[in-house]
Amino acid sequence: MKYPSTDARKDKGTENDFLGKKIDENPKNTGKTDIGKNIRLIMKSKPRKFPQKLSLNWQWRQAVEPQSVSFQSTNMRSLFLPFIASARFVFDFSIVKKELLASLCFTEKNGENKTSRLFFTVRASAILLMFTYQFSSAQQKTYCNPINIDYGYCPIPDFVKQGKHRATADPGITFFKGEYYLFSTNQWGYWHSKNMLDWKFIPRKFLRPEHKVYDELCAPSLSFVNDTLLVVGSTHGKDFPIWMSKNPSVDDWKELVHKSEVAAWDPHIFWDKERDEIYEYYGSSNLYPLYGVKLNRQTFQPEGARIPVLALNDDEHGWERFGEHNDNTFLQPFTEGAFMTKYNNTYYLQYGAPGTEFSGYADGVYVGRNPLGPFTYQSHNPFSYKPGGFARGAGHGATFEDANLQYWHVSTIGICTKNNFERRIGIWPAGFDKDGILYCNTAYGDYPTFLPAQQKNHLNQNFSGWMLLNYNKPVEVSSTLGGFQSNFSVDEDIKTYWSAKSANSGEYMISDLGEKSTINAIQINYADQDVDIMGKPGTTTGHNYIISTSIDGKKWKVLVDKSKNRSDVPHDYIELNESATARFVKLENIQMPTGKFAISGFRVFGKGSGLKPGAVQYFVPLRSAPEIKGERRNVWFKWQQESHADGYVIYFGKSPNKLYGSIMVYGKNEYYFNGLDKSDVYYFQIEAFNSNGIGPKSEINKTE
């Protein structure tokens, strides 16, 4: 099958299509526009797609200047400029307002006069300001990892012997025809979203009855070729189909290939757009390398022999060693999760290592000038790495562009308590620097992070600045089940959790922030205690709860009421429209979808009223020198405890101006980092943080 040449990221059409065909174009050339009629038409019509690659400035010029007021004097233009600024602000909020702008500003030049133009401008600006207020008050600017989607439950009997639990991993996201699409392991369907925040699940089984497996798609490949989305799951056999859809926002799929002959585990199908060639990369093993093979452009079957493209080198690369402490305990390391990104005519072959069970699960990258190599190890590796903090692990993922052509990386977060494959999904800001180095910014990556619509610089602007207010602070609870103690809900460890004795309405926890603080957002991370679901339920009762706040712990005010919620929100994240001030925050259970009322992380974000920590003193990285016998893949960090600090972030890299790696450490003044490349020079820096903010960075330390 040969696909049409339309680029899936564009919606090509006439300017009339862009503006919307239901707009009253006033064929009588009276010089007036029926604004009321146009608003009614727009509100009744379905939203139309708009070009996603175009800048807001271009959209404004196309929507307003060519078809609207023809400014005949600088005074008229200056009069309109304030409303251009308002319009750019409004553009962020919804397609409805884009169409409203086009409608309001569509008027014929013939028969115009200065008075009518002035009156039109005032009318339009008033409505624009009304919409600005209405939509800005409701638009959420941030999200928080792990992302909040209705994760399915593990379907494999041998994996739930220590307790049934939610699980997914190995995610892929692509931006296709104006929406983000998310696939991951064993979910019996997929999600789509227009803003990377609100995800809608579409149930679907992609495997046929004859496949006879417990699960569904495992580690699926997600990509597009021209105007068609492609999906295929992992298999060691030659009987899985490749699916295609031109309209994946509904369950509309067809088989592109009935039985793919690649037999690929952890596959990724890559379309080289400039060459119009198709390749598939795959592999998951601690014995064999990753492979690549070219696919026939017509049949999508292998064309020629597979080629080994990448193998681990853990003798050199410390982070590739197996185990929680990168010491190759028990097994040799795994390489898996191949993914290809092309940027500036360079091919970036990404891979996961050393094992999904570990906090140091990460993605590395090799680069080359051809789709099948040869590839060389990028100087900055691993490029996606998050071994510390609440949500740990950032391996086996996918790099994708957003609606504004900025890059992100989606990957696997480990819980791994009830089973090694109990996992979640995280999304991190990513990009390529001026030297073509692929990076992923995970510093404060499980704190509130700006969404794509905010268009922040991914190297240093994506963190909202809202700090965690209740780390290891006092907690009062209604009841406690066995050893699942209350402070496990605020210890910043996703592997531990507090559980009440029941799921009854009225079970509660109260977090004492220690002082009156400003609250901007709250994340509720539920844990799975005594749940009774396997697989993906068709419906659930949802998580019902109420959050209240108090200054003195006696008089309470409802802050968030989700007592009528019917959505499954295992990692619910609430960004407040207006900040609140409180010392005590109460989470009261109304109803659970299954299991007991259990919380692994009740996380309150904002700003405290005290002092930020100072600069960290006596920060020393201890590493064997090249001429001394020792383990140069390891470094031991020591520093003086900063008295006001809750924790620290250590930055590392091979150049003092490329400290792209980061490690978050709570409550200690040392850290053993075993993820260095043996032969290379490294640079390190540290900063302290607490509920009031982030302290200054230390001087940069160099180790040979």
- Structural domains of the chain in order of their starting residue, each with its CATH number: 15-136 (no CATH), 144-464 (2.115.10.20), 468-607 (2.60.120.260), 620-703 (2.60.40.10)
Q: Considering the chain, what percentage of its residues have pLDDT values greater than 70?
A: 80
- Asked whether the whole model's pTM tops 0.85, one would answer no
pLDDT of residue 501 exceeding 50, the answer is yes
pLDDT band at 48; cut points 50, 70, 90: very low
- CA 57 to chain CA centroid, Å, is 26
pLDDT digits (tens, 9 = 90+) for 380-428: 999 999 999 999 999 999 999 999 999 999 999 999 999 999 999 999 9
Among residues 317, 292, 288, 290, which one has the least CA distance to residue 303? 292
- CA distances in angstroms from 292 to 99, 160, 372, 557, listed in the order given: 45, 34, 6, 59
pLDDT recorded at residue 431: 98
Write the secondary structure of 572-601 as one string of H (helix), E (strand) and C (coil).
Answer: EEEEEEEEEEEEEEEEEEEECCCCCCEEEE
The Cα–Cα gap between 185 and 244 comes to 18
pLDDT of residue 617 exceeding 70, the answer is yes
Task: Check: CB of residue 172 under 8 Å from CB of residue 163.
Answer: no
pLDDT band at 465; cut points 50, 70, 90: very high
Which pair of structure tokens corresponds to residue 347? 């091919």
Among residues 682, 677, 680, which one has the least CA distance to residue 653? 682
pLDDT recorded at residue 624: 94
Q: Comparing 25 with 159, which gets the higher pLDDT?
A: 159
Rg of the chain over all Cα atoms, to the nearest angstrom: 27
Average pLDDT over residues 76-91: 37
User: Cis peptide leading into 146, omega within 30 of 0?
Assistant: yes
Average pLDDT over residues 537-548: 92
pLDDT band at 132; cut points 50, 70, 90: very low
- CA distances in angstroms from 45 to 32, 39, 603, listed in the order given: 22, 10, 41
Q: Which of 67-71, 251-255, 676-680 has the lowest mean pLDDT?
A: 67-71
pLDDT of residue 537 exceeding 50, the answer is yes
pLDDT recorded at residue 539: 83
pLDDT recorded at residue 215: 76
Average pLDDT over residues 499-509: 98
Task: Please provide residue 672's backbone torsions phi and psi, each rounded to the nearest 5 degrees.
Answer: -100, 115
Residue type, 52: Q
The Cα–Cα gap between 564 and 556 comes to 20
Give the CA count within 13 Å in the CB-facing half-sphere of 578: 2
Task: Please provide residue 77's backbone torsions phi and psi, each rounded to the nearest 5 degrees.
Answer: -65, -45
pLDDT recorded at residue 329: 85
Average pLDDT over residues 176-201: 97
Q: Which of 42-56, 208-222, 515-529 has the lowest mean pLDDT?
A: 42-56
pLDDT recorded at residue 294: 98
pLDDT digits (tens, 9 = 90+) for 298-343: 999 999 999 999 999 999 999 999 999 999 888 999 999 999 999 9
> For tokens 């050393």, what's the residue?
354
Helix (H) or strand (E) holding 277, with range, is strand 277-282
Q: How many CB atoms lie within 10 A of CB 418?
A: 21
The Cα–Cα gap between 310 and 291 comes to 7
Q: Considering the chain, what percentage of its residues have pLDDT values greater than 90?
A: 77
Which pair of structure tokens corresponds to residue 66? 């060519």
Among residues 53, 44, 341, 21, which one has the least CA distance to residue 177? 53
pLDDT recorded at residue 538: 85
pLDDT recorded at residue 208: 85
Which pair of structure tokens corresponds to residue 452? 């794509």
Which pair of structure tokens corresponds to residue 553? 């712990």
Q: Comparing 540 with 222, which gets the higher pLDDT?
A: 222
pLDDT band at 138; cut points 50, 70, 90: low
Return mean pLDDT, the chain: 85
> For tokens 């379309």, what's the residue?
271
Burial class for 209, CB neighbours closer than 10 Å (0-12, 13-18, 19+): exposed
Task: Please provide residue 38's backbone torsions phi and psi, each rounded to the nearest 5 degrees.
Answer: -65, -40
pLDDT recorded at residue 4: 36
pLDDT of residue 174 exceeding 70, the answer is yes
The Cα–Cα gap between 522 and 511 comes to 12
Average pLDDT over residues 466-471: 98
Task: Check: CB of residue 522 under 8 Å from CB of residue 605.
Answer: yes
